[in-house]
Structure 1
Amino acid sequence: MKATNRSLEGLRGAAALLVVLFHIGLLSPFSAIIRNGYLAVDLFFVLSGYVICSAYADRLETGRDVWRFIVRRSGRLWPLHIVTAILAYAFLGVIFALGGKHPHVPTGGELIAIATLTQGLAFPDRDIGNLVAWSTSDEFYVYLLFAVICLRLRRWRTTAFACAAVAGLAIALHVGAGSCVSIHRCMDQHASIGWARCLAGFFVGALLALSRTRLQSFGTPAVQIAMAIGSLVFVAGTSEFPLSAFAAPLVFAALIASLIADCGPLATILQTRPMQYLGKISYALYLGHGVVVLPFAGWLNQSQYPIGYQLAAIVVLLCVSFALARILHRHIEVPCRDRIYAWSDSRLDHDITRPSRGFPEDRPLP
Structure 2
Amino acid sequence: MNTGKQFFTALEALRGIAAIMVMFRHTGGTLGPIPQNIGYLSVDLFFLLSGVVLANSYEKQLATGEISPAKFIVQRLIRLYPLYLLSLPVGLLNYALQFGLDYLTLADLLLRAILFVPSSDVDGAFRLNGPSWSLFFELWAGVLFSTLLIRLSWRSLLAITMGAAGFTLYGALAAGNLDIGHQAGYFRFGFSRVLFSFSLGICLYRLYEVRKPKVAESGNMVGLLLCACLVFITNIPARIFFGFPYFDFLLCLVVFPAMVWMAMSTRQAGLVELVFRWLGRLSYPIYILHGPIFSLLQSLRQTGYELPSAPAAGMIVVFAIFIVAGIAAVHFDEPVRKKLKMMIALNPSPAVPAASNTVTEQP
Same fold (TM over 0.5): yes
Q: Which residue of 1 is the match for residue 168 of structure 2? A: 172
2:170 aligns to what SS in structure 1? helix
1:30 CA drift (Å): 6.5
1:271 aligns to what SS in structure 2? helix
Alpha-carbon distance in 2 for matches of 1:313, 1:224:
31
The one of 199, 209, 214 aligned to 1:217: 214
1:41 CA drift (Å): 1.4
Contact 2:92 2:110 in 1 (8 A): no
Contact 2:13 2:279 in 1 (8 A): yes
1:37 aligns to what SS in structure 2? coil
* Letter matched to residue 179 of structure 2: M
1:255 CA drift (Å): 0.6
Alpha-carbon distance in 2 for matches of 1:71, 1:84:
20
Alpha-carbon distance in 1 for matches of 2:13, 2:180:
24
2:240 aligns to what SS in structure 1? coil
Contact 2:119 2:125 in 1 (8 A): no
Judging changes above 3 Å, is the alpha-carbon distance between structure 1 residues 319 and 103 closer, same or farther for their aligned structure 2 residues? farther
Structure 1 residue 67 corresponds to structure 2 residue 70: yes
* Letter matched to residue 14 of structure 1: I
Judging changes above 3 Å, is the alpha-carbon distance between structure 1 residues 271 and 345 closer, same or farther for their aligned structure 2 residues? farther
* Letter matched to residue 214 of structure 2: S
Contact 1:13 1:282 in 2 (8 A): yes
Alpha-carbon distance in 2 for matches of 1:188, 1:261:
31
Structure 1 residue 190 corresponds to structure 2 residue 186: no
Contact 1:110 1:124 in 2 (8 A): no
Q: Which residue of 2 is the match for residue 336 of structure 1? A: 336
Alpha-carbon distance in 1 for matches of 2:161, 2:282:
28
The one of 61, 79, 88 aligned to 1:85: 88
Q: Which residue of 1 is the match for residue 55 of structure 2? A: 53
1:9 aligns to what SS in structure 2? helix
Q: Which residue of 2 is the match for residue 294 of structure 1? A: 295
* Letter matched to residue 342 of structure 1: M
Contact 1:5 1:359 in 2 (8 A): no
Deviations 1:152-190 (A, max 9, x none): x2xx3323422332233222211231232xxxx432552
1:108 CA drift (Å): 6.1
* Letter matched to residue 52 of structure 2: Y
Alpha-carbon distance in 1 for matches of 2:297, 2:319:
14
Structure 1 residue 5 corresponds to structure 2 residue 8: yes
Structure 1 residue 44 corresponds to structure 2 residue 43: no
Alpha-carbon distance in 1 for matches of 2:107, 2:318:
33
- Which structure 2 residue ranges, 5 or more long, are not aligned? 302-307
Please give the TM-score of this superposition, normalised by the length of structure 1. 0.77
Alpha-carbon distance in 1 for matches of 2:205, 2:257:
10
1:18 CA drift (Å): 1.0
1:209 CA drift (Å): 0.6
1:7 CA drift (Å): 1.2
Alpha-carbon distance in 2 for matches of 1:359, 1:30:
35
Question: Which of 193-202 and 131-140 deviates more?
Answer: 193-202
Written as runs of structure 1 = structure 2, the 5 A alignment for 1:33-182 is 35-60=37-62, 61-62=64-65, 64-93=67-96, 95-96=97-98, 101-102=100-101, 106=105, 110-119=109-118, 126-150=125-149, 153=151, 156-180=152-176
Q: Which residue of 2 is the match for residue 362 of structure 1? A: 360
Q: Which residue of 2 is the match for residue 208 of structure 1? A: 204
2:144 aligns to what SS in structure 1? helix
- Which structure 1 residue ranges, 5 or more long, are not aligned? 301-307
Contact 2:28 2:295 in 1 (8 A): no
Q: Which residue of 2 is the match for residue 304 of structure 1? A: none
1:201 CA drift (Å): 1.5
Structure 1 residue 282 corresponds to structure 2 residue 283: yes
Judging changes above 3 Å, is the alpha-carbon distance between structure 1 residues 292 and 199 closer, same or farther for their aligned structure 2 residues? same
1:137 CA drift (Å): 1.1
1:3 CA drift (Å): 2.9
Judging changes above 3 Å, is the alpha-carbon distance between structure 1 residues 194 and 121 closer, same or farther for their aligned structure 2 residues? farther
Aligned-residue CA RMSD (Å): 3.9
1:135 CA drift (Å): 0.7
1:109 CA drift (Å): 5.4
Alpha-carbon distance in 2 for matches of 1:226, 1:195:
32
1:125 CA drift (Å): 7.0
Alpha-carbon distance in 2 for matches of 1:339, 1:21:
33
Q: Which residue of 1 is the match for residue 259 of structure 2? A: 255
Q: Which residue of 2 is the match for residue 319 of structure 1? A: 319
Q: Which residue of 2 is the match for residue 239 of structure 1? A: 239
